[in-house]
Amino acid sequence: MDAFSEELMRSVEDDDQVEASIGCGPEIHLPWLSQHLQNTVSHGHKGINFAQTTSICLNFIQEALLKHQWQRASEFLQHYFQALEDFNSQKRQVALQNIWKLGSAILYHHPKSNVETFNAFADRMKNIGVQNYLKISLQHALYLLHKGMVEEAYRNLNQAESWRYGEMSASQEKIIKLIQAYRGLLDYYTWSKKRTELSKFDMDGFATSAATQDMHSYFRQASVNLHEIIKIPGVWDPFVKSYVEMLEFYGDQDGARQVLTDYAYDNNFPSNPNAHIYLYKFLKKEKAPEDKLISVLKILHQIVPSHKIMLEFHMLLRKSKKEEHQKLGLEVLFAVLDFSGCTENITAWKYLAKYLKQIMMEKHLNWVQEGWSSRKDWWPTFHFSYYLAKKNWKENKILALEKAFTSGILLGKGKLSWGHLSGAPSSPDTYTSYLLKISVHSIPLLPPQRTR
């Protein structure tokens, strides 16, 4: 011990001899103590570690992406890659997904990036870990499609489809279906190209039949995959449309109708307005009975009351003989105009004005009352304000006149007025009165005739 200490002590330099002279001077006068503060808990933090680095880094990347700073984002991403080397396999998985998402976003936008870099990146990412191969393949294909590289994308999908690794998990099976469906869609695309080619050029019989056969083989390939995917509950609009188009082309009307009906009416599927529109359009083309058309659109009316096809629906209902339908016709118009996107729809206003007049004539006042009672509180300000009157008159006089007519009926004092009966505000109808005032001034006065 002693030798040890001596040994250590030897290393100490004897520099303590000099007396220090700093710190002398007049003594400080300590001030009063006044305020007191109670203290609570503090939040300590540990030293920066690997996990913190990766999470800070991730934040920086996201921030850079948000601000469209692609260079900065890729700079940080370069440092985020180390998250793939985490000892924790779960964190590695998360990192992998993050990197794929962020990296593909960066490569999509980065000015220095091109298809080759993206391909290299995607191929690399596909081969890290088994679980992401299919997902990344599909997204890769979509990227290629976006760049207009259909053939490349098709090859990619094919490759992904034939990829096998051990037993497939449920999620992988779903993705495989999707991959097949997209491949089917691409087959349809080729089919449709061939069809236009075939119709454009005059070919001799032999060539035509060969081309037709070629086209048909695409149809078969596509239909198998498309048929598969639309059986799974989901929104498959482009798939359904192309499938139906092909069926129609080959004259399978029943098949097409069945597909569309299933797509629209299967309760397992999520509610999808397009499904009903497709069915309606198909039936209309088929010249199906009006009752059938009305029943299809009735559902659409419930889902999307503001859809522009509703005006068509209104015409159908108006023509219908059933009183029930006629009553619904009014409700449909009201519902369309409830939406702010449709407030300046001239046709809707025209229809309403006309239909209101017709209904009044037919003495179905109670229909109007029914529809109006829920709207009387807010329509006047929503549609018939002074401001709107001024605006509409300035921008579109026909619209203004149609509206004025309607407001006259619903609120006003005209001879068709029923407003007083229905308990509508008895204040003067601002919309109409403004228009009246304006029109008086704006009608060019005839030059006074000279009297002799």
**Among 211, 213, 237, which residue's Cα sits nearest to residue 226?**
237
How near is the Cβ of 66 to other proteins at its closest, in Å? 16
How near is the Cβ of 161 to other proteins at its closest, in Å? 25
Radius of gyration, alpha carbons of the chain: 37
Residue with smaller CB distance to other proteins, 112 or 200: 112
**Residue 26 backbone class (left: φ over 0; alpha: ψ -120 to 50; beta: rest):** beta
Q: In the block, which residue shows the tokens 């850079």?
A: 64
Structure tokens at 79: 């440092």
| Interactions with other proteins, residue window 304-363 (CB under 8 A) | none
Q: At what angle do helices 115-126 and 133-146 cross, to 10 degrees?
A: 170
Stretch that binds other proteins, among 54-62, 259-267, 382-390, 442-450 (CB under 8 A): 54-62
Structure tokens at 183: 């491949």
What is the size of the binding site for other proteins (CB under 8 A)? 75
Residue with smaller CB distance to other proteins, 4 or 206: 4
| Interactions with other proteins, residue window 396-415 (CB under 8 A) | none
Question: What number of residues does the chain have?
Answer: 452
**Among 100, 93, 49, 108, which residue's Cα sits nearest to residue 77?**
100
Residue with smaller CB distance to other proteins, 100 or 313: 100
How near is the Cβ of 402 to other proteins at its closest, in Å? 58
How near is the Cβ of 168 to other proteins at its closest, in Å? 22
- Tell which one of 105, 128, 149, 416 touches other proteins (CB under 8 A): 128
| Interactions with other proteins, residue window 63-122 (CB under 8 A) | 70-71, 74-79, 81-82, 84-85, 99, 103, 106-107, 110, 112-113, 117, 120-121
How near is the Cβ of 44 to other proteins at its closest, in Å? 6
| Interactions with other proteins, residue window 260-299 (CB under 8 A) | none
CA 122 to chain centre: 26
| Interactions with other proteins, residue window 8-47 (CB under 8 A) | 8-12, 15-16, 18-20, 22-42, 44-47
How near is the Cβ of 163 to other proteins at its closest, in Å? 19
Residue with smaller CB distance to other proteins, 34 or 267: 34
The 3-class SS string of 60-123 reads: HHHHHHHCCCHHHHHHHHHHHHHHHHCCCHHHHHHHHHHHHHHHHHHHHHCCCCCHHHHHHHHH
Residue with smaller CB distance to other proteins, 3 or 446: 3
Residue with smaller CB distance to other proteins, 89 or 267: 89
Residue with smaller CB distance to other proteins, 29 or 415: 29
Stretch that binds other proteins, among 7-15, 290-298, 335-343, 427-435 (CB under 8 A): 7-15
Q: What long-range pairs does 336-345 form, CB within 8 A, spacing at least 24? A: 336/305, 336/306, 336/310, 336/311, 337/383, 338/305, 338/306, 338/375, 339/305, 339/306, 341/306, 342/306, 343/382, 343/383, 344/392, 344/396, 344/399, 345/311
Told to check if 5 binds other proteins by CB under 8 A, we report yes
Question: For residues 104, 110, 116 and 117, what is the CA-based torsion angle, rounded to 10 degrees?
Answer: -60
Stretch that binds other proteins, among 124-132, 169-177, 198-206, 434-442 (CB under 8 A): 124-132
Residue with smaller CB distance to other proteins, 39 or 449: 39
How near is the Cβ of 12 to other proteins at its closest, in Å? 4
Instruction: Provide DSSP, 188-222.
Output: HHHHHHHHHHHHHS---HHHHHHHHHHHHHHHHHH
Stretch that binds other proteins, among 52-60, 233-241, 379-387, 435-443 (CB under 8 A): 52-60
- Residues 189-225: b if buried by 16+ CB within 10 A, e if exposed: bbbbebbeeeeeeeeeeeeeeebeeebeebbebbbeb
How near is the Cβ of 338 to other proteins at its closest, in Å? 50
Structure tokens at 58: 């991730």
Dihedral (CA of 46, 49, 53, 55) sign:
negative
Residue with smaller CB distance to other proteins, 81 or 250: 81
Stretch that binds other proteins, among 55-63, 181-189, 260-268, 270-278 (CB under 8 A): 55-63
Residue with smaller CB distance to other proteins, 83 or 399: 83
Structure tokens at 78: 């370069």
CA distance 389 to 405: 12
List the x/- string, 168-187, binding to other proteins by CB under 8 A.
Answer: --------------------
Told to check if 62 binds other proteins by CB under 8 A, we report no
Residue with smaller CB distance to other proteins, 29 or 441: 29
